[in-house]
Amino acid sequence: KRSLILVLGDQLSLDISSLRDFDPRHDQIIMAEVWEEAHYVSHHQKKIALIFSAMRHFANQLKKQKWPVHYYQYDPDSPYRSLLDVLKSAVKHYSPQQILITHCGEWRLHNAMQTWSKPLATPVHILEDDRFICSLAEFKEWAARRKQLRMEYFYRYIRQKTGLLMEGNSPTGGQWNFDKKNRKSYSNDPPVPPVYQCKPDKITLGVLNDVANYFPEHFGQLKPFWFAVTTEQANAALVHFIEHKLAYFGDFQDAMSSQHDFLFHALISIYLNIGLLDPITTCKMAEHAYQQGKVPLNAVEGFIRQIIGWREYVRGIYWLKMPSYAKENAFNNDRSLPSFYWNAETKMQCMHQCLKSTYEHAYAHHIQRLMVTGNFALLAGITPTEICEWYLAVYADAFEWVELPNTLGMVMHADGGLLGSKPYAASGKYIAKMSDYCKSCHYNVKTLVEDDSCPFNGLYWFFLITHYDTLKSNPRMKLVLSSLQRKSKSEIAKIKQRAQQLLMQLDSL
Ligand code: FAD
Ligand code: DLZ
Ligand code: SF4
């Protein structure tokens, strides 16, 4: 059959299912930079640059091997505003017998695609995205067998399925999870190796020009731009991580430092998510470093767990629960997102540092997203849809299948505990323990109800007071709620007063 194949901006791999049976004698590839995909949220400028540049490089790679690609470069005045517009025109031109698309990463687009056969007068076939280790059907089956959908059990299942870090049926080292070892704070030893940076080539420079011209109002700082935009470059970035950082990844996984935006993190989610790196190959390379004695088990296990565990698990949850998942709001939050999320202008040093990194690099590492910007949104009772939209816009690795469960489920607990067994709510004490932020902060992390007390403290206790009835049935909350019960009536009254004061002036904290 003569096929027209639409390759999306996050499907940049020769192994993608839609290209598997490609026959250059009669099939045709379509790739398109379009207004609608570039505007459904105010994507960070670096995210748009990454995707456009990686798309242009991938199209060139296909053309080099003599595969026909019709590429639509971004033009703000183009009559083709959406991917459907592009396909309508392409169908007229090529008269295909069918359209093939690998399953996309967002419900918004997937839902639209279900209706495309009619306006295109051509059958549209959606193929499984088998870059993932666990298919959607397999996840559904796994979920149906379990009372609770905990990541840890899913992870063990995938370890067995892949054989990664396994000795027969047993986990290497006799334990599935070494997370308890991975909670060190960082105080400049060992030194953090510099982040791997790629030099922009001619194509990327062209893209940077386009983004500066066409998206000046979008969030974030465009330059310097040093992301990898090809498989070779992404692979080099991964090798650099494994050689220089993986050994310490576990130890400092939860640490934060005002001196180092990236610490010992891999910076590879951007490449995994758009198809430049493959998850299994990535994990095998890390496992190999362990087998050669170059990195300790707690590091490699932690790293592999994030990829075959969390990454696959959140995707499964997303497709299992959408579209209703996006609307969940278990705590009935209704407060607007403070303006400092968009400009980093806040006296809270921890928030400032994480938001600054987000603005500059379209990146913040996991603990910054979870325990600082996320924790604040949870404690301040921000409307889940608003904070979810923010996370989808500001990170270069953000696609809804991975962003939404992390934000709505893990951070906001808005799904009532489907994804996380308890809210990750924490006071300033946690941030003080895991970072150096508090040392140079306007606020005092040691006090609770003074005018200059750390806002996380007042909001944390107020969160527990407000949601006491919902949280009290959760056995994992027992310990913290018992310390709340030990507080006197007058202490509680003061906390409430302090929290109300903070909530009234969120924007100016
Ligand atoms: P590392 O810390 O080096 O980890 C290695 C890899 O593990 C990552 O590249 C990533 O592929 C995977 N990984 C780690 N944690 C998670 C997780 N919780 N869920 C899925 N994969 C994980 N990740 C995204 O890829 N896109 C998002 O839009 C996204 N949004 C998030 C929003 C919130 C509120 C939170 C708390 C986390 C979010 N994450 C998201 C997960 C995680 O923060 C990023 O994957 C990670 O920070 C990427 O940086 P890294 O490559 O240096 O990761
Ligand atoms: C994120 C993004 C952006 C900014 N632009 C495009 C684009 O112009 N063309 C395209 O095919 N894909 C783009 N993407 C990625 C898509 O939004 C992504 O494929 C869907 O959200 C599904 O995951
Ligand atoms: Fe953040 Fe509070 Fe520490 Fe300031 S004192 S850096 S607001 S945790």
**CATH code, domain with 175:** 1.25.40.80
* The one-letter amino acid at 386: E
Q: Round to whole Å and give the CA distance between 269 and 354.
A: 18
Residue 215 domain-assigned (yes or no):
no
User: What distance in angstroms lies between residue 420's CA and the mean position of ligand 1's atoms?
Assistant: 16
Q: What's the number of domains the chain is made of? A: 3
Task: Quickly tell me which residue has 């902060």 as its tokens.
Answer: 441
Taking a C-beta distance cutoff of 8 angstroms, is the pair 126, 113 a contact?
yes
Beta-bridged to residue 100, according to DSSP, are: 5, 125
Q: Is the CB of 432 under 6 A from ligand 3?
A: yes
The sign one gets for the Cα dihedral 83, 87, 88, 93 is positive
User: To test ligand 3's pocket by mutation, which of 346, 350, 430, 444 has the most ligand atoms within 8 angstroms of CB?
Assistant: 350
Cα 66 to chain centroid distance, Å, stands at 34
What is each CA distance from 194 to 206, 256, 263, in whole angstroms? 26, 16, 9
pTM recorded for the entire structure = 0.97
pLDDT of residue 215: 98
Residue 212 domain-assigned (yes or no):
no
Q: Round to whole Å and give the CA distance between 132 and 15.
A: 12
Q: Which of 365, 367, 373, 370 is nearest to 346 (CA)?
A: 373
The size of the chain, in residues, is 509
- In sequence order, the 6+-apart residues with CB closer than 8 A to the CB of 174 are none
Same domain, 168 and 310: yes
Q: Is the CB of 274 under 6 A from ligand 1?
A: no
pLDDT of residue 181: 76
Same domain, 390 and 428: yes
Token pair of 8 as six digits: 């999306």
pLDDT of residue 182: 78
| Minimal-distance CA residue to ligand 1 atom 14 | 306
User: What distance in angstroms lies between residue 282's CA and the mean position of ligand 1's atoms?
Assistant: 15
Q: Round to whole Å and give the CA distance between 439 and 483.
A: 26
Q: Is the CB of 282 under 6 A from ligand 1?
A: no
- In degrees, to the nearest 5, what angle opens at C-alpha 395 toward C-alphas 389 and 397? 110
pLDDT of residue 112: 97
For residue 218, count other CB atoms closer than 10 A to its CB: 19
User: To test ligand 2's pocket by mutation, which of 5, 10, 36, 132 has the most ligand atoms within 8 angstroms of CB?
Assistant: 10
CATH, residue 90: 3.40.50.620
Q: Is the CB of 275 under 6 A from ligand 2?
A: no
pLDDT of residue 276: 98
Count CA atoms within 13 Å of residue 460 on its CB side: 26
User: To test ligand 3's pocket by mutation, which of 352, 375, 437 has the most ligand atoms within 8 angstroms of CB?
Assistant: 437
Q: Round to whole Å and give the CA distance between 363 and 47.
A: 10
Residue 171 domain-assigned (yes or no):
yes
Q: Is the CB of 395 under 6 A from ligand 1?
A: yes
Residue 207 domain-assigned (yes or no):
no
pLDDT of residue 425: 96
Of all ligands present, the nearest one to the C-alpha of 258 is 3
3-class DSSP assignment, residue 477: helix
Same domain, 182 and 95: no
Q: Round to whole Å and give the CA distance between 110 and 122.
A: 17
End residue of a domain, out of 292, 321, 350? 321
Q: Round to whole Å and give the CA distance between 158 and 46.
A: 33
pLDDT of residue 194: 93
* The one-letter amino acid at 382: I
pLDDT of residue 324: 98
Q: Round to whole Å and give the CA distance between 310 and 149.
A: 12
User: What distance in angstroms lies between residue 424's CA and the mean position of ligand 1's atoms?
Assistant: 16
Taking a C-beta distance cutoff of 8 angstroms, is the pair 272, 282 a contact?
yes
End residue of a domain, out of 321, 356, 374? 321
Q: Is the CB of 373 under 6 A from ligand 1?
A: no
pLDDT of residue 432: 97
Q: Is the CB of 182 under 6 A from ligand 1?
A: no
Would you give the DSSP letter of residue 295?
S
Q: Is the CB of 398 under 6 A from ligand 1?
A: yes
Taking a C-beta distance cutoff of 8 angstroms, is the pair 66, 243 a contact?
no
3-class DSSP assignment, residue 301: helix
Q: Which is the closest atom of ligand 1 to the Cα of 411?
A: 34
Residue 216 domain-assigned (yes or no):
no
Token pair of 133 as six digits: 């280790």
Of all ligands present, the nearest one to the C-alpha of 35 is 2
Task: Quickly tell me which residue has 């508090």 as its tokens.
Answer: 438
Taking a C-beta distance cutoff of 8 angstroms, is the pair 365, 262 a contact?
yes
Q: Is the CB of 43 under 6 A from ligand 2?
A: yes
Q: Is the CB of 471 under 6 A from ligand 3?
A: no
CATH, residue 408: 1.10.579.10
Same domain, 83 and 169: no
Q: Round to whole Å and give the CA distance between 25 and 102.
A: 21
pLDDT of residue 155: 97
Token pair of 50 as six digits: 């990454």
Same domain, 441 and 501: yes
Same domain, 62 and 142: no
Same domain, 306 and 386: no
Same domain, 286 and 402: no
Same domain, 376 and 466: yes
Q: Round to whole Å and give the CA distance between 378 and 17.
A: 39
3-state per-residue secondary structure call for 207-246? HHHHHHHHCCCCCCCCCCCCCCCCHHHHHHHHHHHHHHCH
Q: Is the CB of 437 under 6 A from ligand 3?
A: yes
Q: Which is the closest atom of ligand 1 to the Cα of 407?
A: 34
| Minimal-distance CA residue to ligand 2 atom 21 | 106
Distance, first Cα to last Cα, the chain: 61
Residue 224 domain-assigned (yes or no):
no
Q: Is the CB of 382 under 6 A from ligand 1?
A: no
User: What distance in angstroms lies between residue 365's CA and the mean position of ligand 3's atoms?
Assistant: 18
End residue of a domain, out of 321, 352, 370? 321
What is the span of the domain harbouring residue 297?
136-200+229-321
Q: Is the CB of 106 under 6 A from ligand 2?
A: yes
Residue 27 domain-assigned (yes or no):
yes
User: What distance in angstroms lies between residue 186's CA and the mean position of ligand 3's atoms?
Assistant: 17
**Cβ-count burial 362-384 (b if 16+ within 10 Å, e if not):** bbbbbbbbbbbbbbbbbbbbbbb
Q: Which is the closest atom of ligand 1 to the Cα of 303?
A: 5
Would you give the DSSP letter of residue 423?
-
For residue 330, count other CB atoms closer than 10 A to its CB: 17
Beta-bridged to residue 30, according to DSSP, are: 6, 70
Would you give the DSSP letter of residue 128?
P
Q: Is the CB of 407 under 6 A from ligand 1?
A: yes
Averaged in consecutive runs of 10 residues, what is the pLDDT profile of the chain (509 residues)? 97 97 96 97 98 98 97 96 98 97 98 97 98 97 93 96 96 92 88 95 98 98 98 98 96 95 97 98 98 96 97 98 98 97 98 98 98 98 98 98 98 95 95 97 97 97 96 92 94 97 97
The side-by-side arrangement of strands in the sheet containing 3-6 is: 69-72, 28-32, 3-6, 98-102, 124-127
Q: Round to whole Å and give the CA distance between 206 and 229.
A: 13
Residue 331 domain-assigned (yes or no):
no
Q: Is the CB of 274 under 6 A from ligand 2?
A: no
Same domain, 164 and 295: yes
Would you give the DSSP letter of residue 339?
T
| Minimal-distance CA residue to ligand 2 atom 23 | 105
Token pair of 147 as six digits: 């009372």
What is each CA distance from 77 to 40, 41, 254, 436, in whole angstroms? 17, 19, 45, 48
Task: Quickly tell me which residue has 């790196």 as its tokens.
Answer: 277
Same domain, 46 and 189: no
User: To test ligand 3's pocket by mutation, which of 185, 375, 431, 508 has the most ligand atoms within 8 angstroms of CB?
Assistant: 431
Same domain, 248 and 158: yes
